[in-house]
Amino acid sequence: MAEILTDEKKIVIKIVYYGPALSGKTTNLMHLHDLIHPRQCGDLMSLETRGDRTLFFDLLPILARTDGEYRLKIKLFTVPGQVAHDATRKAVLSRADGVVFVADSQMMQAMNNAQSFENLENNAGRVGLDFHRLPLVVQFNKRDLPKILSEAEITERWGPTQRPVTFSNALKGTGVQATFETILSATYDHLDAIHDLARSYRIVKENLLAILPQPSP
């Protein structure tokens, strides 16, 4: 559920990048930070300690332009993937409006992906999110590496979940924007059905998608 701050005339949408350790969640946010115009994008804030790339979480705040009086803020978070940091994962996932599950395409990571996805489903339940209605995109990252699952294998495994699947090389940036557009679109549809964003707040899907550079005609 989006945070609707009537006093401040502001709506805050929370999107969480979830997945196993080192799958590329922070790299997705770094690339989005580079893509989005500095006027609309804050700094990528990371709390890190030496030897543990993401001890706590990253946050990237983004402002979208709207036609109405309400301002629209989108907060992107990453969770720490390490098994030990489940409490942080739960706290970050709480009140999420949409989730990008970043999986590592390498064959040897299949088990970690599966465990992390199960952890996402369990934690969603624990923080009171309806997992089956939660807007969710599954991104298979690190497509540039050798010994990765083929797109056919991934589609066969993940197709039955009915979740959109995207492919990326976050290091280079390929597929990062497409993944983000997919989750923005799904999240908008879900929130519009609940809060009537278009009619009550004059916030349309294009306001969200316009955050990103538009393809040249």
Binding-site ranges for Mg ion (CB under 5 A): 26, 54
Residue number, 54 or 168, with CB nearest to Mg ion: 54
Q: Are 40 and 64 in contact (CB under 8 A)?
A: yes
Q: Judging by beta carbons within 10 Å of its beta carbon (0-12, 13-18, 19+), is residue 107 exposed, middle or buried? A: middle
Binding mask 36-65 for ligand GDP (x = CB under 6 A): -----------------xx-----------
Candidates 86-94, 115-123, 168-176, 195-203; binding stretch for ligand GDP (CB under 6 A)? 168-176
Enumerate the β-bridge partners of residue 7: none
Cα-Cα-Cα-Cα dihedral of 18, 132, 64, 139, to 10°? 40
User: DSSP labels for 132-146?
Assistant: TTS-EEEEEE-TTSS
**Rule CB under 6 A: is residue 90 a binding residue for ligand GDP?**
no
**Rule CB under 6 A: is residue 145 a binding residue for ligand GDP?**
yes
- Pick from 2, 24, 41, 154 the residue near ligand GDP by CB under 6 A: 24
Q: Interface with ligand GDP by CB under 6 A: which residues? A: 19, 21-27, 53-54, 78, 81, 102, 141-142, 144-145, 169-171
